[in-house]
Amino acid sequence: MGLLTILRKSKRKERELRILLLGLDAAGKTTVAKRLLHQDVTDVGPTFGFDIYTVEYQDYRINIWDIGGQESLRSYWKNYFESTDGIIWVVDIADSARLSHCVVELHKTLQDERLVGAPLLVLANKLDRNPNIVREKLVEAFKLETLCDRPWNIYLCSALCNSGVTQGFSWLIDDIAEKNFLYGTNVTLLAFGFIFVF
């Protein structure tokens, strides 16, 4: 994130955030978004292209970009990476056949320089269909401890049953707020010989 981006966010009164919601198709991304909006999740279909959901959370206006996860669409994900504040990666933990593919796609996505430093929340979704999953095993499977360029966390959840989604989302927003808004309005930055006071 460049200096001008930091300055803009520090001064911005509406405190707006941009979150990418990614993962393979049928992982439950749209159900996660609808849960955060307190909408009905009984009839959710696949996302072709993208949808934008706006959530008012704490003091922030959060735009969640729900991007389709079909294989034919993944090459277009990079078109949405600019100005990303955080990433929610949703994985279907009941789909063991595609778990390793999901890991590959995650690490491939995180290599893009526009996402460097963006905090990562992995939502291990569909806990209701795989209740015996162990968080530590997922951390190991997703090689999360190798991620040294960003904060990360993983939450077991069931978007359908409304369990764990809000807690994970809260962690992500708190982490972004700590870095981007520097917990205050009186911020002084020294860069290139100039002092900026807000």
Q: Is 43 annotated as a binding residue?
A: no
What CATH number is attached to the domain comprising 128? 3.40.50.300
What is the number of domains present in the chain?
1
Of residues 69 and 192, more confidence is placed in 69
Which is higher by pLDDT, 48 or 107?
107
* Range(s) of the domain holding residue 42: 3-197
Q: What is the per-residue pLDDT across 167-191, written as a single tens digit (0 to 9) for each?
A: 999 999 999 998 865 544 333 343 4
- List, for residues 109-159, the tens digit of each pLDDT value: 999 999 999 999 999 999 999 999 999 999 999 999 999 999 999 999 999
Was 37 annotated as part of a binding site?
A: no
2 assigned ligand-binding residue:
no
DSSP letters, the chain, are --HHHHHHHHH-SS-EEEEEEE-STTSSHHHHHHHHTT---SS----SSEEEEEEEETTEEEEEEEE---TTTGGGGGGG-TT--EEEEEEETT-GGGHHHHHHHHHHHHTSGGGTT--EEEEEE-GGG-TT--HHHHHHHTTGGG--SS-EEEEE-BTTTTBSHHHHHHHHHHHHHHHHSTTSS--EEEETTEEEE-
- Which residue among 39, 58, 70, 167 is the active-site one? 70
Residue 167 a catalytic site member = no
Q: 10-24, 29-43, 109-123: lowest mean pLDDT where?
A: 10-24
Structure confidence by residue, pLDDT tens digits, 80-104: 999 999 999 999 999 999 999 999 9
CA-nearest of 129, 97, 118, 113 to 24 is 97
Side-chain-side CA neighbours of residue 137 (13 Å): 9
Average pLDDT, the chain: 88
Q: Please tell me whether 13 is known to bind a ligand.
A: no
